């Protein structure tokens, strides 16, 4: 916005206020417009360096009245004596200064700073509330983009006050934080751009307040190890509080992003899980949390990219359904216009219907609900499901290979595109780098059972793997094959859902598979039964009321291609890729049996 346009806006806003006052408008309405006027005037001053003065305003000086009468001559004589005395004193002062030793530059600068004037007046303070009264044209830089190449540039930026350290009345330091990035700012009272009054004001700003800073980028004399931008610092010339934080925070960001090892070693505080989750907004500001959820966004993006490149179509499936998705009791029941409905445990049945409708290759990203009273490190009542389904030609391994390839695309993309985020997380939660092989390792269930039994672990041939056995097998696979990701095929039929296709060579097994990361399951999938009559038989065998899934069964009466697929838990993939100890660290606002807030 040009200076002329801004001037016109201030003038128009003033006219508007006068009209409201003349109309005797409500006080609140008038004050709202007054606040907008203050903001416009401040923006005008920042843009032009001058105060706004209404057109036609002339500063008038009160004329001195000429004395008349008998005392006029006496007053004139007295005034002349006063001027002569002042001139004599000035001459004496000049003579003393001429004979005095010359001060060095720093002493001269000090004299300027200490004269009590405020050279930075109008360049610091609290901005009026930004209520979109004016569209202000100003480029704000990102902290992450500031480096040695920017030295000498004058920049504006908006960031949070992470730390504040005032060393004296004339010197202070601020660490500003912007997502994962941080930079040191210097305030040095020089009598030109920064004053003691500015530093005194800055000392009143609370941590976590949002500020606008105008500063000159300068190379740092030594590496600033406490900041992400280590080779430069900002020399502040203006600072404005955009949004102030309260003085007493329920947790400190430094404490929340400190590793347990450092906390013990240095005898400093760390923050427990419940405190984090109860104050999630602050906890999500830490560099670690920022990194976790940016990487999690990357998992979604890479999942979509990999499947889209392979010809898949993204579809959106309903989350309110007439019957339990998988025939179980772990569902959230709700009242749906005087009849019962449920929150979807999985988009499974609808993915299959989409295949029957000739979409051939489909995927979906959306919430999944499980009413499981499980208070473990890896279970949630609501999570994000990354689901896919695919028609195949002759063998379900066509789908297994596609899913395996998608995982490899995700792992490779995370490694190559999110190295900064991974490094940030490992600073607080140290772990080994995630390993994978291409193509991925595929083991039969029987091979996994044999590995466990040979290591002395009790595992039945047709029993499902317990959580401890899954973890033990993950360690055995890592030691033997040097991979944190693997696929296990041919699970026992009796431990799989009703829609799973039996193995034609062994009726005790099935055409089903699970996939694992660091010894924990992250996907369960299978070839689905696509024949309606055989599906009805399996439903009866599992003891499911066919009336509850009749629409699903009917979808296969009109001819359906053979197909398979699987579902991935986004939060679990994030947790295990980074080696986090609890899934709540990778869920933005976790929902479990004990938590439904914030």
The dotted CATH code for 3-48 is 1.10.287
3-state secondary structure (DSSP) of residue 592: strand
What pLDDT is recorded for position 152?
A: 95
What pLDDT is recorded for position 101?
A: 42
Average pLDDT over residues 492-510: 95
Residue 109: pLDDT band (50, 70, 90) is: very low
At 428, list the tokens. 């607080």
Which helix (H) or strand (E) element contains residue 132? none
What pLDDT is recorded for position 90?
A: 63
The 10 Å Cβ neighbour count of residue 558 is 9
Model confidence pLDDT, tens digit, residues 539-596 = 999 988 888 788 889 989 999 999 999 999 999 999 999 999 999 999 999 999 999 9
The 10 Å Cβ neighbour count of residue 218 is 16
Q: pTM for the complete prediction? A: 0.81
- Residue appearing with tokens 């590496």: 223
CA-closest candidate to residue 581, choices 357, 288, 368: 288
Residue 104: pLDDT band (50, 70, 90) is: very low
More confident residue, 72 or 510: 510
* R_g of the chain, CA atoms, integer Å: 36
Average pLDDT over residues 446-451: 96
The 10 Å Cβ neighbour count of residue 437 is 13
The 10 Å Cβ neighbour count of residue 236 is 27
Q: Which residues are part of the catalytic machinery?
A: 370, 372, 378-379, 521, 524, 572
* CATH 3.30.930.10 intervals, the chain: 287-586
Model confidence pLDDT, tens digit, residues 318-351 = 999 887 755 556 899 999 999 999 999 999 889 9
What pLDDT is recorded for position 370?
A: 93
What pLDDT is recorded for position 102?
A: 41
Average pLDDT over residues 164-172: 95
Model confidence pLDDT, tens digit, residues 390-407 = 999 999 999 999 999 999
* CATH 1.10.287 intervals, the chain: 3-48
What pLDDT is recorded for position 20?
A: 83
Determine which of 164-168, 253-257, 543-547 has the lowest per-residue pLDDT on average: 543-547
Give me the torsion for CA of 440, 445, 450, 455, rounded to 10°.
Answer: 70
Whether 587 and 377 have beta carbons less than 8 Å apart is answered as no
User: CA 123: distance to chain centroid?
Assistant: 31
What pLDDT is recorded for position 36?
A: 79
Whether 205 and 161 have beta carbons less than 8 Å apart is answered as yes
> CB pairs under 8 A, 24+ apart, for 477-480?
477/441, 477/443, 477/451, 477/516, 477/519, 478/435, 478/519, 480/451
Query: Above 50 in pLDDT, residue 55?
Result: yes
Average pLDDT over residues 22-50: 79
- Residue appearing with tokens 């002759």: 394
Query: Above 70 in pLDDT, residue 74?
Result: no
User: 124-243: what fold?
Assistant: OB fold (Dihydrolipoamide Acetyltransferase, E2P) (2.40.50)
3-state secondary structure (DSSP) of residue 474: helix
Query: Above 70 in pLDDT, residue 359?
Result: yes
CATH superfamily of this structure's domain 287-586:
Bira Bifunctional Protein; Domain 2 (3.30.930.10)
State phi, psi for 187 to the nearest 5 degrees: -120, 110
* CATH 2.40.50.140 intervals, the chain: 124-243
Average pLDDT over residues 351-371: 95
The 10 Å Cβ neighbour count of residue 226 is 12
What is the pLDDT of the chain when averaged over all its residues?
89
């Amino acid at each position: 916005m040009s200076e002329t346009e801004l001037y016109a806006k201030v003038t128009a806003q003033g006219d508007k206020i006068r009209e409201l006052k003349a109309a005797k408008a409500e006080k609140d309405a008038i004050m709202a417009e007054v606040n907008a006027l203050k903001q416009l005037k401040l923006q005008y001053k920042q843009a032009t360096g001058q105060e706004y003065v209404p057109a036609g305003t002339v500063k008038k000086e009160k004329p001195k009245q000429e004395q008349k009468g008998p005392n006029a001559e006496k007053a004139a004589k007295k005034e002349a004596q006063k001027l002569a005395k002042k001139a004599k004193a000035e001459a004496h002062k000049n003579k003393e200064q001429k004979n005095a030793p010359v001060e060095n530059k720093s002493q001269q600068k000090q004299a300027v700073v200490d004269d009590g004037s405020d050279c930075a007046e109008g360049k610091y303070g609290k901005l009026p509330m930004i209520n979109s009264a004016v569209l202000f044209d100003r480029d704000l830089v990102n902290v992450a983009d500031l480096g040695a190449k920017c030295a000498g540039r004058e920049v504006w930026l908006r960031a949070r006050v992470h730390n504040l350290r005032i060393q004296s009345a004339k010197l202070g330091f601020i660490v500003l934080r912007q997502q994962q990035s941080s930079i040191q700012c210097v305030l040095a009272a020089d009598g030109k751009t920064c004053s003691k009054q500015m530093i005194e004001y800055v000392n009143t700003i609370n941590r976590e307040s949002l500020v606008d800073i105008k500063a000159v980028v300068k190379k740092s004399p030594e590496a600033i190890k406490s900041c992400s931008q280590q080779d430069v610092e900002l020399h502040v010339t203006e600072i404005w509080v955009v949004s102030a934080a309260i003085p007493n925070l329920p947790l400190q960001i430094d404490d929340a992003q400190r590793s347990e090892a450092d906390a013990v070693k240095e005898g400093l505080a760390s923050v427990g899980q419940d405190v984090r989750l109860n104050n999630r907004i602050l906890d999500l500001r830490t560099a670690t949390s920022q990194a976790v959820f940016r990487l999690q966004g990357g998992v979604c993006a890479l999942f979509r990219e990999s499947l889209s490149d392979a010809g898949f179509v993204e579809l959106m499936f309903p989350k309110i359904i007439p019957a339990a998705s998988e025939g179980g009791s772990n569902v959230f029941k709700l009242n749906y216009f005087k009849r019962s409905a449920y929150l979807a445990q999985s988009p499974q049945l609808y993915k299959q219907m989409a295949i029957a409708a000739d979409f051939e290759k489909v995927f979906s990203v959306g919430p999944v609900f499980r009413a499981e009273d499980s208070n473990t490190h890896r279970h949630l009542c609501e999570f994000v499901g990354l689901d896919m389904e695919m028609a195949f030609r002759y063998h379900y391994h066509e789908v297994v290979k596609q899913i395996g390839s998608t995982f490899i695309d995700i792992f490779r993309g995370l490694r190559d595109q999110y190295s900064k985020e991974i490094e940030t997380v490992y600073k607080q939660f140290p772990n080994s780098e995630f390993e994978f092989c291409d193509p991925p390792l595929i083991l039969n269930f029987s091979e996994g059972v044999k590995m466990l039994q040979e290591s002395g672990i009790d595992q039945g041939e047709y029993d499902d793997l317990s959580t401890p056995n899954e973890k033990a097998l993950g360690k055995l696979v890592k030691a033997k094959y040097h991979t944190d990701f693997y696929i296990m095929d041919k699970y026992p039929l009796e431990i799989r859902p009703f829609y799973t296709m039996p193995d034609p060579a062994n009726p005790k097994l099935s055409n089903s598979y699970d996939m694992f990361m660091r010894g924990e399951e992250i996907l369960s999938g299978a070839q689905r039964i696509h024949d309606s009559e055989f599906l009805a038989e399996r439903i009866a065998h599992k003891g499911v009321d066919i009336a509850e899934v009749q629409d699903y069964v009917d979808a296969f009466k009109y001819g359906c291609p053979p197909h398979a697929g699987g579902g991935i838990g986004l939060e679990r993939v994030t947790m295990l890729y980074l080696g986090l100890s609890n899934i709540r660290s990778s869920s933005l606002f976790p929902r479990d049996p004990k938590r439904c807030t914030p």
